[in-house]
Each structure stands twice: as C-alpha cells, then as structure tokens.
Structure 1
Amino acid sequence: MDGFEIRTSNSKKGKGLFATKKYDQGDVILEEDPLVSCQFSWNAAYRYLACDHCMRPLETPERNVRRLSCKPDIILPYSDCYETNIECMSMCDHCGTQYCSEVCRQRAYGTYHRLLCHDTSDAQHPIVVLVEAWKQMHYPPETTSIMLLVRILAYITQSPDPSAAAGKVKQFCHRTVNEDAELVHKLLGEQFTDQLNTLRELTINVISGEHIQQFLTPEGFCTLMALVGTNGQGIGTSPLAMWVNAVQELTMSDDERQQLDLFIDKLYQYVEEESGTFLNTEGSGLFQLQSACNHSCAPNAESTFPYGNHRVQLKALKPILPGDEICISYLDECALQRSRHSRQKELAQNYLFVCWCERCSLQSSQPDCTSEEDMSDEEIDADD
C-alpha cells in the first residue's frame, strides 16, 4: 500500500489507517471500490433509477431535477458539460436488472448476481418478500439495507475461494456478542429480537450453503447485521450535483456566473420544497481500506464519491505527516458542529464508543449541555 498502512492504533481503537508519507490538503490518499454495495430499498422504491452494481444514476441531470421538483418544463443550461453515458446501459437477460454498462453487468454477475438473479415482478419470490419485510422494519432515513448483507453472502458463495472471501468479511467483525446485539437493537428498534429472527429466516430462504452457514446462525447473523450497520459506508450520488460541479468548472463572465448561481439556488429551492432533503440516489458499500479509518471530531480526511458511483475517494482535509493516523468523521457536518456532550452521545448510541480524540480531550471541561439544541435533545429523551 503506497502512502498508508493499516496497523494497531491503540487499545481503545484497535486498528487504524496511518500515513507513511506526507499529504497536503486536497491530496487523494486512496481510491477504492467496495467488496459489495447496494442501493437502499426505499430509495429504489421512490424511483431513484441507478445501476444495480455501482449505483451510478441512470437518468440525466435534467430528468433528475424535473422529477425531484415536479417541474417537467425545467431546462438545464450547459447540459452537455456532464456526460451521463446512458446510451451505454446494459441489462440482465434473465431478470431485466439495469446496469450503467456491460462492465458493471459482468462484474455483478461474477460477484453475486448469478445467485440472486430473480423475477422482480414475482411478489412471492424470497428476495422480494425479504426486501418488503425489511422496508416495514426500516423506514427512511435509511442507514443500511438487508440486501447489502445478502450480497455479502452471495459474494462469499460465488467466490473461487469461499474460505478466503469469508475471511475478508470477518476482518470487519471485531465486537463482542453483546455489543453486536446492542447495535442491532439500535438499528431495528425495540422489537429487534423478533425482527432479527424473521430477517434471518427470510434470508435463509434466499441463500444458504456450507460456506456461509456460520453467518446464518442466530449469533452469526446478528454479527453480520451489526457489521453492515456500522461498517457500511453511506454512498450518495446525484446527476444534479454532478452537473452543478461540472458547470462550476466552466469559464464564463462574472455576470453569467452570477445568473447561473441564482438559477442553481432556485433549482435547489424547488427540489427542497417538493422532495425535502431526499435528493440523492443513496445506498451503502463495504470498503476494506476506507473502513479502517477511525473517527475524529476534528478529522484530517473525508470520504467523497467524485465519479457519481460507488468508488470512494479519501482526501486530506489538512496536512498529514508520516506516522499520523488518518481519521474521518462518522458524524455528519451538522452533528460535528455541536457540543462535545452531544457528539459523544450520538457516537455512543450508534457506534458504542466514547470518543477521546484531540478535540474531545480539549473540550473535556465543558458542561454536559452547552446549547439550546442539546437541551431540547435532553428534554425529548427525558419525555421518552
């Protein structure tokens, strides 16, 4: 690995990603495709058309913004500055699943789709039954998908060396049985024990076999569910966002730039009024290298998806020296700006650890509540 290595961080964090060379702000540390990825179930149900393998949207920016804003007469200027390559789309001959290219179709078939290919119009097919059960347990905003778990099992089974593939997956498992159960409780809610068993039984109807039997026991399935819940990296792609990024690179006069910026602001206003913040084709993926990054409330790197698909790019947010640990934030930008108490509460609930990053350590003298927003959280919790 050029420029970084995975090694033991400390007794609290376990393994981490460390720089072996200097990175300047904006430098790309790594790029990586996931072992598997998939679109969220509700996201697909809301007609966010995407490549079933890499999640690249299968609609033009203009069609995207028209649908999200419910304004069919919107015309985007400079529409040729962002190539969608929709004409390269491919389709599974057996089930009609759509892909952005023949390359993605072949990769999907070779990795997991051969075992999971099915008639999507058959309401009684085990995969359709499983996905519908999942949707009733896990409403938007979604954080993972049961199909990511199923694709992991298919990836192991279809692998030329299933034992090695299972070993790769088990590298993500490093919590105790009780911690796994607590994470699944958070993911599924109060009825998680019954729901987990239902999902396990429905998953066994979809896929089983000697190489994945260890993941289909009650304990193994709980571990796998906790794995996708915590290691699944959120992926968001959007034709509109890619078009906006592309037009920002165009050369134009100050007046043209100002008019374009006003137009873009108006577009996002229309979309927000109609679709809220539900703007992107969303899903999650399991990344071997990127998932080694530990959390910091003052991260020195961030994960981005610059290609409009599931390929992640890890970029330096500030200078990183050899020997420095490369950390990202597990919290979104809004949560990251809140008090130490609020940040630690969310991390403890969702990831089962107390953060002692440099920022948290420097703020250790702060009171438990430091803002009206945090106070409102406390009041809501007290009412519950």
Structure 2
Amino acid sequence: MSTVISTNETDFVIANDQVKGRQIIAKRIYQSGELIFHEQPLVSAQFEWNKLYKYSACECCLYPLESCEQNVRRLCQDSAIVILHPECDPNRNMDQRIVRCPKCNEMFCSTTCYQQAMNNYHFTLCQSNENQEKDQLIRHIIDLWRSVHPPPETTSISLVLKIMAMLKQTDNRLILLQELQKFSQGVQSENQQFYHKLLRKEFETQVEQLRYALEQFNEKYIQLAEFKWFLTSNGFRQLLALLGRNQQGVGTSSLALWVKNCEALSEPQQAIAAAAAATATSEASQFIDALYTKIDDISGEFIDCEGSGLFKLQSCLNHSCDANAEIQYLHNNSTLSVVATRLISNNEEITINYLSECDRNRSRHSRQKLLQENYLFLCQCNRCTSESAEPDETSEEESENDMEED
C-alpha cells in the first residue's frame, strides 16, 4: 500500500467537487518552497526501454544503482572519464551495496527493498527458471509492449504485471481493489470515446495480442476472478487509459545527485576562503557543463533512470496551468514530494501542472489540446479562463502566422 507522510494530518483535506471530482484543499497557509507531503507509490515500475538500455535502477524504488562515474561513462561512451569531487557522489561504492535476488539476479538498492518487493509482487514475478513457460510469457508480454510503445515512454506494462501479482500475494485483496478503483474515477463515462496517447493507431493494431497474453498469464499463474474484466477488450482499454491518465513519471539520477552535492560543496568553502572557493566552483561548473554537452551529443535528453507509478494522494491533485505546487523527487527514488511553488492560502485548492516544462508556455488552445488528448479533460483554470479570448490556434499555427506576416 502507498504511504503518505505529512507534517500534520490536518494540513490539508481531500474533498469532492461535482466537476473536478477529488481535489486537495489546504487547511493552512503554505509558504513558497514548503513541503506539503511525501508519498510512496502504491505500485511503480521502470520503463521497459529505459531498463533495456541499461539504465540501472532498483527494481523496487527506482533508486539509481550506478555510481556517478559509471553513469557518465555509460552516457558519454567514454570509460576514461574521471569525475571531480568523488566525495560528492553518495553512490561511489554502490556496487558493494546492491542486493540481488538469489533466484533471478534482479537488483535492489537494499535488503529492505528486496524484502518489500518479495512480499508485494516479486515472489510471483521472479523469473527464476523454475517455471520456464511462465518466465517466457512474462518476457513475451514485455517484448510485445516494447514493440508497440517505443520511446519516449509514458508508462510500463510492468505496472499491470505488478498489480496482478500484488492482488495474488496480498492478504487484503478487497482493500487493494478498492484502492485501484479510486484511480478509475473519471476514466469511464457514457458515450465517451478514448483518444488516449496509449491507444494511438499504431498501438491499437497490437493491443489484442497484448491483452490475450495477459489473459493467459492470469488464467495460468495468477487466477484472479476479480481481474478478469480488466482483461476483456473493453476493460483492457480502460485499464490502459487508467494508467495513462493517473500514472506519475519518476526520474532518478546518480549524476544529478552528484551535481547537487558539488553545488553545495562551495558553501562552507566560501566562508573560509572566498577566492579559492570561486576557483573550485568555476572548475567544477566547467567540468559539469562539458559533461552535459557530451552526454547531449551521445545520448540525447534521456539521461535519467525513468519509470512511473500510481500514487494514491498525488492522483487527487488536479491540474492548473497556473499551479501552486510541483512534484519533486527529493530522495532520488520513487518517493514523491509535493512542494509549494508560491504562497498557498488557507482553503485554497492545491494544484500541479500536468504539462511538461516546454508545453506550459504554449498557447491556451495548444494546452487544451494536449490535456484533452493525454488526460481526457479541458482545463478551466484561472489562466485558461483569462486567455479565453485568444484565437483557437495551436502554437505551431501561431508561429506559422507570425512568419507569414513577417
């Protein structure tokens, strides 16, 4: 089950709105930069292509399993790189800390994560060669997913496999089913057609093969009557829409952690010797800039261990194009943190922006189009309302019109 950690249970409440559905309302004032809550996922999984390309992360919590030096050497395809300030890399001895499943060799960042995975789902999904037919079917399901869902990835079929395994292993199946049903609110309604990104045309042609493979997995190895409906043609599409609409992306990085620690390194130095600290900081900054440039040339923008998860409380956070909070991963694993980005008043709804950084500055029409396609709703936030007089053009159309006028 997901775990919510809050400084005070009365700091916010979950309310129900007739239009928006569930929402989170602040019950006190939050300052900009203040933590609102931490939350661990109900279930999470690394993206399949990300894992295939050897982005090494804990199978349970997605904590990165490379040292920073190993990370940049792989991304730069240069085994000679030696990082500055190795003491700033908390993962420098990660090889010695990795815990492997004795049966399938799957990697975890700690004994705690390994035991948690075994208790929740890994006992069922462990590819230990004890049942080669089961192992082959799991690999077939993952291969099918990769064949029809190339990068950039948005979710992982392993979320479905883990949910099925969790339902099989749990002693509280009814409670877990009730938790999952909460994510389905708003996904199904009368006469609603799904134009979800996971069900685009090239995926639709293969969806039946994937559904059938999961149906076989359930019948042979999971045997959950409660999950059969989700593996019907209509139910499976709604299951994927549920994941696509509710999943929250997770990104972790040994490199990012090292960079953050390098930046903090200069603070005590400045108190002792400002000139020396400035020189050291400049050297580190130049080294970091050069690394990112090389990584961009070799590996592009996909530099993190990436995955997604379902978070019970986070899923109650509604979108606003003028959001007052944001998602951060302060622990460099799948534990999610919600942080205020401006002053939040008592009784104000806490909101986040579902759009990517580059899409947030697009026109109202472009934002509405993206939200409709990806999350099945039209935004009615204050920003969208204030921009309602703008022409119904996408950002690309606006750029083309500007060029024609020039």
TM-score with structure 1 setting the length = 0.92
The unaligned stretches of length 5 or more in structure 1 are 378-384
Match of 1:321 among 345, 354, 358: 345
| Other-structure match for 1:6 | 14
Classify the secondary structure of the residue corresponding to 1:56. coil
Q: Aligned partners of 2:303 and 2:397: how far apart in 1?
A: 25
| Other-structure match for 1:70 | 77
2:279 matched to 1:255?
A: yes
Deviation at 1:180, TM superposition (A): 7.5
2:125 matched to 1:110?
A: no
Could you tell me whether the CA contact under 8 Å between 2:215 and 2:228 is conserved in 1? no
Q: Aligned partners of 2:192 and 2:394: how far apart in 1?
A: 31
Classify the secondary structure of the residue corresponding to 2:346. coil
2:242 matched to 1:218?
A: no
- Listed as ranges, the matches of 1:22-37 within 5 Å are 22-37=29-44
2:254 matched to 1:239?
A: yes
Q: Deviations over 1:37-87 (max 9, x none)?
A: 000000011111111110111100111011101121111111112312622
| Other-structure match for 1:98 | 107
Relative to structure 1, the CA distance from residue 191 to residue 338 in structure 2 (aligned partners, 3 Å threshold; closer, same or farther) is closer
- Listed as ranges, the matches of 1:355-370 within 5 Å are 355-369=379-393
Q: Aligned partners of 1:312 and 1:183: how far apart in 2?
A: 28
Amino acid at match of 1:247: C
Worse overlay, 120-129 or 241-250: 120-129
Identity of counterpart residues, as a percentage? 39
Classify the secondary structure of the residue corresponding to 1:356. coil
Q: Aligned partners of 1:272 and 1:122: how far apart in 2?
A: 40
Q: Aligned partners of 1:330 and 1:220: how far apart in 2?
A: 25
- Listed as ranges, the matches of 1:171-320 within 5 Å are 171-174=182-185, 175-176=187-188, 182-184=194-196, 186-207=197-218, 208-251=223-266, 252=269, 253-320=277-344
Amino acid at match of 2:322: A
Q: Aligned partners of 1:230 and 1:292: how far apart in 2?
A: 12
Q: Deviations over 1:132-184 (max 9, x none)?
A: 00000000000001111111122222111111111100100022257876145
Q: Aligned partners of 2:137 and 2:50: how far apart in 1?
A: 20
Classify the secondary structure of the residue corresponding to 1:22. coil
Deviation at 1:313, TM superposition (A): 0.5
Worse overlay, 257-266 or 57-66: 257-266
Q: Aligned partners of 1:345 and 1:250: how far apart in 2?
A: 44
2:363 matched to 1:354?
A: no
| Other-structure match for 2:368 | 344
Superposed CA RMSD? 2.1
Q: Deviations over 1:176-215 (max 9, x none)?
A: 257876145x313215444222211111232332232232
Could you tell me whether the CA contact under 8 Å between 1:49 and 1:57 is conserved in 2? yes
Q: Aligned partners of 1:222 and 1:322: how far apart in 2?
A: 39
Classify the secondary structure of the residue corresponding to 1:322. coil
Rg larger in structure: 2
Q: Aligned partners of 1:106 and 1:214: how far apart in 2?
A: 31
Relative to structure 1, the CA distance from residue 374 to residue 353 in structure 2 (aligned partners, 3 Å threshold; closer, same or farther) is farther
